[in-house]
A = this chain, B = another copy of it.
Protein backbone atom coordinates (compact mmCIF):
# COMPACT_ATOMS: atom_id res chain seq x y z
CA UNK A 1 0.00 0.00 0.00
CA UNK A 2 1.30 3.41 -1.01
CA UNK A 3 1.05 6.19 1.57
CA UNK A 4 0.91 9.85 0.56
CA UNK A 5 1.04 12.92 2.78
CA UNK A 6 -0.83 16.19 2.58
CA UNK A 7 1.88 18.12 0.72
CA UNK A 8 2.10 15.46 -2.00
CA UNK A 9 -1.68 15.33 -2.31
CA UNK A 10 -2.09 19.13 -2.51
CA UNK A 11 0.53 19.26 -5.24
CA UNK A 12 -1.27 16.50 -7.16
CA UNK A 13 -4.63 18.29 -7.40
CA UNK A 14 -5.20 20.61 -10.33
CA UNK A 15 -8.22 22.78 -9.42
CA UNK A 16 -9.72 22.78 -12.92
CA UNK A 17 -9.43 19.00 -13.09
CA UNK A 18 -11.07 18.81 -9.65
CA UNK A 19 -14.08 20.82 -10.85
CA UNK A 20 -14.38 18.58 -13.94
CA UNK A 21 -14.11 15.44 -11.81
CA UNK A 22 -16.79 16.60 -9.36
CA UNK A 23 -19.16 17.59 -12.19
CA UNK A 24 -18.62 14.20 -13.84
CA UNK A 25 -19.22 12.50 -10.47
CA UNK A 26 -22.52 14.32 -9.93
CA UNK A 27 -23.70 13.21 -13.38
CA UNK A 28 -22.68 9.59 -12.67
CA UNK A 29 -24.45 9.73 -9.30
CA UNK A 30 -27.70 11.01 -10.83
CA UNK A 31 -27.52 8.32 -13.54
CA UNK A 32 -27.38 5.65 -10.81
CA UNK A 33 -23.82 4.66 -11.74
CA UNK A 34 -22.44 4.99 -8.22
CA UNK A 35 -22.85 2.65 -5.23
CA UNK A 36 -22.74 4.68 -2.01
CA UNK A 37 -24.26 3.16 1.15
CA UNK A 38 -25.57 5.40 3.92
CA UNK A 39 -22.91 7.50 5.64
CA UNK A 40 -21.43 5.94 8.79
CA UNK A 41 -21.45 8.17 11.83
CA UNK A 42 -20.03 8.29 15.37
CA UNK A 43 -20.70 11.00 17.92
CA UNK A 44 -18.60 11.84 20.98
CA UNK A 45 -19.59 13.79 24.08
CA UNK A 46 -16.50 14.65 26.07
CA UNK A 47 -15.09 16.52 24.29
CA UNK A 48 -17.87 16.94 21.72
CA UNK A 49 -16.86 15.52 18.35
CA UNK A 50 -18.06 13.61 15.35
CA UNK A 51 -16.78 11.20 12.74
CA UNK A 52 -18.23 10.43 9.29
CA UNK A 53 -17.38 7.51 7.02
CA UNK A 54 -18.36 8.02 3.39
CA UNK A 55 -17.62 5.15 1.02
CA UNK A 56 -18.52 3.55 -2.25
CA UNK A 57 -17.49 3.12 -5.86
CA UNK A 58 -18.45 3.92 -9.42
CA UNK A 59 -19.90 0.77 -10.91
CA UNK A 60 -17.26 -0.92 -13.08
CA UNK A 61 -14.40 1.00 -11.44
CA UNK A 62 -11.17 -0.78 -10.48
CA UNK A 63 -11.21 0.78 -7.02
CA UNK A 64 -13.41 1.71 -4.12
CA UNK A 65 -12.88 4.57 -1.71
CA UNK A 66 -13.43 5.05 2.02
CA UNK A 67 -13.21 8.59 3.39
CA UNK A 68 -13.03 9.20 7.12
CA UNK A 69 -13.57 12.77 8.33
CA UNK A 70 -13.66 14.09 11.87
CA UNK A 71 -14.73 17.31 13.56
CA UNK A 72 -13.67 18.10 17.14
CA UNK A 73 -14.51 21.75 17.47
CA UNK A 74 -12.77 22.41 20.77
CA UNK A 75 -9.36 21.37 19.36
CA UNK A 76 -8.02 24.85 18.53
CA UNK A 77 -8.82 26.15 22.02
CA UNK A 78 -7.81 23.09 24.04
CA UNK A 79 -4.86 21.49 22.23
CA UNK A 80 -3.98 23.71 19.28
CA UNK A 81 -4.92 21.11 16.68
CA UNK A 82 -7.20 21.94 13.74
CA UNK A 83 -10.87 21.21 14.43
CA UNK A 84 -11.17 18.79 11.54
CA UNK A 85 -9.01 16.21 9.86
CA UNK A 86 -9.43 13.15 7.70
CA UNK A 87 -7.93 10.50 5.50
CA UNK A 88 -8.90 8.46 2.46
CA UNK A 89 -8.29 4.78 1.76
CA UNK A 90 -8.37 3.38 -1.76
CA UNK A 91 -8.88 -0.36 -2.27
CA UNK A 92 -8.79 -2.58 -5.36
CA UNK A 93 -12.26 -3.67 -6.47
CA UNK A 94 -10.55 -6.62 -8.20
CA UNK A 95 -8.74 -8.12 -5.19
CA UNK A 96 -10.04 -6.34 -2.08
CA UNK A 97 -6.49 -5.31 -1.17
CA UNK A 98 -5.67 -1.77 0.00
CA UNK A 99 -3.84 0.25 -2.66
CA UNK A 100 -3.31 3.67 -1.17
CA UNK A 101 -3.67 5.69 1.99
CA UNK A 102 -4.10 9.41 1.40
CA UNK A 103 -3.15 11.25 4.60
CA UNK A 104 -4.69 14.45 3.33
CA UNK A 105 -5.73 15.78 6.80
CA UNK A 106 -9.08 16.85 5.36
CA UNK A 107 -7.64 18.72 2.35
CA UNK A 108 -9.42 16.43 -0.13
CA UNK A 109 -12.75 17.03 1.62
CA UNK A 110 -12.16 20.79 1.46
CA UNK A 111 -11.14 20.83 -2.20
CA UNK A 112 -13.94 18.50 -3.34
CA UNK A 113 -16.44 20.69 -1.48
CA UNK A 114 -15.05 23.85 -3.07
CA UNK A 115 -15.03 22.15 -6.47
CA UNK A 116 -18.71 21.30 -5.99
CA UNK A 117 -19.54 24.97 -5.53
CA UNK A 118 -17.55 25.84 -8.65
CA UNK A 119 -19.31 23.08 -10.62
CA UNK A 120 -22.71 24.42 -9.51
CA UNK A 121 -21.69 27.94 -10.59
CA UNK A 122 -20.40 26.67 -13.93
CA UNK A 123 -23.81 25.18 -14.73
CA UNK A 124 -26.15 27.68 -13.04
CA UNK A 125 -24.54 31.12 -12.66
CA UNK A 126 -25.70 33.89 -15.03
CA UNK A 127 -23.42 34.66 -17.99
CA UNK A 128 -22.28 38.01 -16.62
CA UNK A 129 -21.40 37.85 -12.96
CA UNK A 130 -21.57 41.40 -11.58
CA UNK A 131 -20.16 40.56 -8.16
CA UNK A 132 -19.60 37.37 -6.19
CA UNK A 133 -21.24 37.27 -2.76
CA UNK A 134 -19.53 35.15 -0.13
CA UNK A 135 -21.37 34.47 3.13
CA UNK A 136 -19.04 33.24 5.85
CA UNK A 137 -15.32 33.65 6.48
CA UNK A 138 -14.03 30.12 7.22
CA UNK A 139 -11.96 27.66 5.21
CA UNK A 140 -14.79 26.97 2.76
CA UNK A 141 -15.47 30.68 2.22
CA UNK A 142 -11.85 31.05 1.10
CA UNK A 143 -11.71 27.85 -0.94
CA UNK A 144 -15.05 28.39 -2.67
CA UNK A 145 -13.88 31.80 -3.86
CA UNK A 146 -10.47 30.46 -4.84
CA UNK A 147 -12.07 27.85 -7.14
CA UNK A 148 -14.69 30.22 -8.58
CA UNK A 149 -11.83 31.96 -10.44
CA UNK A 150 -11.89 28.98 -12.83
CA UNK A 151 -15.57 29.36 -13.77
CA UNK A 152 -16.07 33.16 -13.86
CA UNK A 153 -13.90 36.11 -14.85
CA UNK A 154 -15.52 38.28 -12.15
CA UNK A 155 -13.01 39.35 -9.48
CA UNK A 156 -15.26 41.67 -7.48
CA UNK A 157 -16.41 40.17 -4.18
CA UNK A 158 -18.84 41.28 -1.50
CA UNK A 159 -18.40 39.43 1.79
CA UNK A 160 -20.61 39.13 4.83
CA UNK A 161 -19.61 37.17 7.95
CA UNK A 162 -20.98 37.07 11.47
CA UNK A 163 -17.56 38.03 12.88
CA UNK A 164 -16.66 41.55 11.58
CA UNK A 165 -12.96 41.13 12.41
CA UNK A 166 -12.76 37.95 10.33
CA UNK A 167 -14.69 39.65 7.55
CA UNK A 168 -12.23 42.56 7.46
CA UNK A 169 -9.17 40.30 7.31
CA UNK A 170 -10.63 38.01 4.63
CA UNK A 171 -8.60 37.83 1.43
CA UNK A 172 -8.08 35.55 -1.53
CA UNK A 173 -5.40 36.26 -4.15
CA UNK A 174 -6.63 38.10 -7.20
CA UNK A 175 -10.02 39.16 -5.81
CA UNK A 176 -11.04 42.63 -4.65
CA UNK A 177 -13.08 42.24 -1.50
CA UNK A 178 -15.61 44.61 0.03
CA UNK A 179 -17.30 43.86 3.36
CA UNK A 180 -21.09 44.24 3.50
CA UNK A 181 -22.80 45.06 6.77
CA UNK A 182 -25.74 42.75 6.05
CA UNK A 183 -26.65 39.88 3.78
CA UNK A 184 -29.36 42.16 2.37
CA UNK A 185 -26.67 44.60 1.21
CA UNK A 186 -24.68 41.69 -0.21
CA UNK A 187 -27.70 40.39 -2.14
CA UNK A 188 -28.34 43.81 -3.71
CA UNK A 189 -24.88 43.84 -5.34
CA UNK A 190 -24.23 40.18 -6.17
CA UNK A 191 -25.70 37.77 -8.69
CA UNK A 192 -23.52 34.76 -7.75
CA UNK A 193 -23.77 34.01 -4.03
CA UNK A 194 -22.17 31.19 -2.04
CA UNK A 195 -23.18 30.51 1.57
CA UNK A 196 -20.69 28.58 3.70
CA UNK A 197 -21.90 28.90 7.29
CA UNK A 198 -23.13 26.51 9.99
CA UNK A 199 -26.19 28.76 10.47
CA UNK A 200 -29.40 27.40 11.93
CA UNK A 201 -31.54 30.21 10.58
CA UNK A 202 -31.97 31.65 7.10
CA UNK A 203 -29.33 34.26 6.16
CA UNK A 204 -30.52 34.86 2.59
CA UNK A 205 -34.02 36.37 2.47
CA UNK A 206 -36.27 35.89 -0.55
CA UNK A 207 -37.10 39.60 -0.69
CA UNK A 208 -33.39 40.56 -0.91
CA UNK A 209 -32.42 38.36 -3.87
CA UNK A 210 -32.50 40.05 -7.27
CA UNK A 211 -33.56 38.51 -10.57
CA UNK A 212 -30.79 36.61 -12.33
CA UNK A 213 -29.01 35.52 -9.14
CA UNK A 214 -27.59 32.09 -8.54
CA UNK A 215 -27.17 30.91 -4.91
CA UNK A 216 -25.09 27.92 -3.89
CA UNK A 217 -25.93 26.88 -0.32
CA UNK A 218 -23.02 24.82 1.03
CA UNK A 219 -23.50 25.04 4.78
CA UNK A 220 -26.52 22.91 5.64
CA UNK A 221 -24.99 19.45 6.01
CA UNK A 222 -27.00 18.06 8.91
CA UNK A 223 -30.50 18.32 10.36
CA UNK A 224 -31.35 21.73 11.80
CA UNK A 225 -28.99 23.83 9.66
CA UNK A 226 -30.39 26.43 7.26
CA UNK A 227 -28.96 29.30 5.21
CA UNK A 228 -31.67 30.16 2.65
CA UNK A 229 -35.20 31.31 3.48
CA UNK A 230 -37.83 28.77 2.43
CA UNK A 231 -39.72 31.45 0.47
CA UNK A 232 -36.74 31.85 -1.88
CA UNK A 233 -37.34 28.32 -3.16
CA UNK A 234 -40.84 29.38 -4.25
CA UNK A 235 -39.41 32.44 -6.00
CA UNK A 236 -36.58 30.54 -7.77
CA UNK A 237 -36.81 28.95 -11.23
CA UNK A 238 -34.28 26.16 -10.88
CA UNK A 239 -34.07 24.23 -7.59
CA UNK A 240 -31.05 21.95 -7.76
CA UNK A 241 -29.87 19.55 -5.04
CA UNK A 242 -26.84 17.28 -5.04
CA UNK A 243 -28.98 14.35 -3.83
CA UNK A 244 -32.75 14.29 -3.40
CA UNK A 245 -32.37 11.71 -0.60
CA UNK A 246 -29.95 13.83 1.40
CA UNK A 247 -31.37 17.30 0.74
CA UNK A 248 -34.94 16.22 1.48
CA UNK A 249 -33.59 14.97 4.81
CA UNK A 250 -31.15 17.64 5.97
CA UNK A 251 -30.37 20.26 3.32
CA UNK A 252 -31.82 23.72 2.91
CA UNK A 253 -34.41 22.06 0.65
CA UNK A 254 -36.09 20.28 3.54
CA UNK A 255 -37.09 23.62 5.10
CA UNK A 256 -38.81 24.61 1.85
CA UNK A 257 -40.58 21.25 1.70
CA UNK A 258 -41.65 21.45 5.35
CA UNK A 259 -43.02 24.96 4.75
CA UNK A 260 -44.94 23.54 1.75
CA UNK A 261 -43.86 26.46 -0.44
CA UNK A 262 -42.73 24.04 -3.18
CA UNK A 263 -43.51 20.39 -3.97
CA UNK A 264 -40.76 17.73 -4.19
CA UNK A 265 -41.12 17.45 -7.95
CA UNK A 266 -39.84 21.02 -8.43
CA UNK A 267 -36.37 19.81 -7.41
CA UNK A 268 -33.83 18.41 -9.84
CA UNK A 269 -30.39 16.98 -9.13
CA UNK A 270 -27.36 19.01 -10.16
CA UNK A 271 -26.10 15.81 -11.82
CA UNK A 272 -29.20 15.75 -14.02
CA UNK A 273 -28.53 19.33 -15.15
CA UNK A 274 -24.89 18.42 -15.84
CA UNK A 275 -25.94 15.27 -17.73
CA UNK A 276 -28.49 17.29 -19.72
CA UNK A 277 -31.50 15.30 -18.51
CA UNK A 278 -32.98 18.21 -16.51
CA UNK A 279 -33.14 21.88 -17.52
CA UNK A 280 -30.80 24.38 -15.89
CA UNK A 281 -30.87 28.17 -16.22
CA UNK A 282 -32.46 29.24 -19.53
CA UNK A 283 -32.09 33.05 -19.23
CA UNK A 284 -30.31 35.71 -17.19
CA UNK A 285 -33.41 36.80 -15.28
CA UNK A 286 -33.98 33.49 -13.50
CA UNK A 287 -33.10 32.82 -9.89
CA UNK A 288 -31.37 29.47 -9.37
CA UNK A 289 -30.43 27.61 -6.19
CA UNK A 290 -28.02 24.72 -5.68
CA UNK A 291 -28.39 23.06 -2.27
CA UNK A 292 -25.30 20.89 -1.68
CA UNK A 293 -24.97 18.52 1.29
CA UNK A 294 -21.89 16.51 0.25
CA UNK A 295 -21.82 13.13 -1.49
CA UNK A 296 -19.48 10.14 -1.24
CA UNK A 297 -19.13 10.31 -5.04
CA UNK A 298 -17.18 13.56 -4.54
CA UNK A 299 -14.73 11.71 -2.30
CA UNK A 300 -14.49 8.91 -4.84
CA UNK A 301 -13.80 11.35 -7.67
CA UNK A 302 -11.26 13.50 -5.86
CA UNK A 303 -9.35 10.48 -4.50
CA UNK A 304 -9.17 8.99 -7.99
CA UNK A 305 -7.97 12.29 -9.40
CA UNK A 306 -5.26 12.59 -6.74
CA UNK A 307 -4.15 8.98 -7.21
CA UNK A 308 -3.90 9.23 -10.99
CA UNK A 309 -1.35 12.03 -10.58
CA UNK A 310 0.42 10.56 -7.55
CA UNK A 311 0.94 7.22 -9.24
CA UNK A 312 2.65 8.93 -12.18
CA UNK A 313 5.14 10.84 -10.01
Contact = CB atoms under 8 A, between A and B. Distances in A.
A95 B106 CA distance: 14
A65 B1 CA distance: 20
Given A40-B40, A40-B53, A56-B42, A71 B95 contact: no
Interface in A95-138: 95-98, 101, 103
The residue in A1, A81, A98 that gathers the most chain B C-beta atoms within 10 A of its C-beta is A98
A22 interface: no
B51 A96 contact: yes
Contacts of A98: 68, 85, 87, 103
Interface in A25-61: 35, 37, 40-42, 44, 47, 49, 51, 53, 55-57
A304 interface: no
Copy total for this chain = 2
Contacts of A1: 103
Given A1-B103, A35-B42, A42-B37, A64 B51 contact: yes
Given A53-B53, A101-B101, A71 B96 contact: yes
A41 B49 contact: no
Interface of A: 1, 3, 35, 37, 40-42, 44, 47, 49, 51, 53, 55-57, 64, 66, 68, 70-72, 75, 79, 81, 84-85, 87, 89, 91, 93-98, 101, 103
